[in-house]
Amino acid sequence: MSSENGFEDWQAVMLTGDQIAAARRLAGIRSQAELAALAGVSRPTVERAEAARHLIPSMNADAMARIIRALETAGIEFHLDGGASLAGDVGMRRRSPVG
């Protein structure tokens, strides 16, 4: 999670189901099972998270943190836009390759 807005504890951030699905696709992670394996959570956890669509999934903070970490490791940068809240108002982009 980018700290340019003074936010470093991304465990408090909760992505919507649509944001999780979009970040997964942007990262080139083809399946929910693949994201689950990378995050160390179950496939049904990722499935339920993405099924929440425009809502914040009902899941514990540790599972959300694991999913965010896996997406970041896969090259996704999350950031809070000016005035954004920590619940669903998170932007994302694919990190540029180094070199």
Domains and CATH numbers, the chain: 10-94 (1.10.260.40)
pLDDT per residue over 2-14, tens digit each? 444 433 454 456 8
What value does the mean pLDDT take over residues 72-88?
Answer: 70
pLDDT at 70: 96
- Supply the pTM of this predicted model: 0.77
What value does the mean pLDDT take over residues 75-82?
Answer: 78
Confidence bin at 81 (pLDDT 50/70/90): low
Q: Is 79 helix (H, G, I), strand (E, B) or coil?
A: strand
d(CA 55, CA 32): 18
Least Cα distance to 76 among 32, 26, 40 occurs for 26
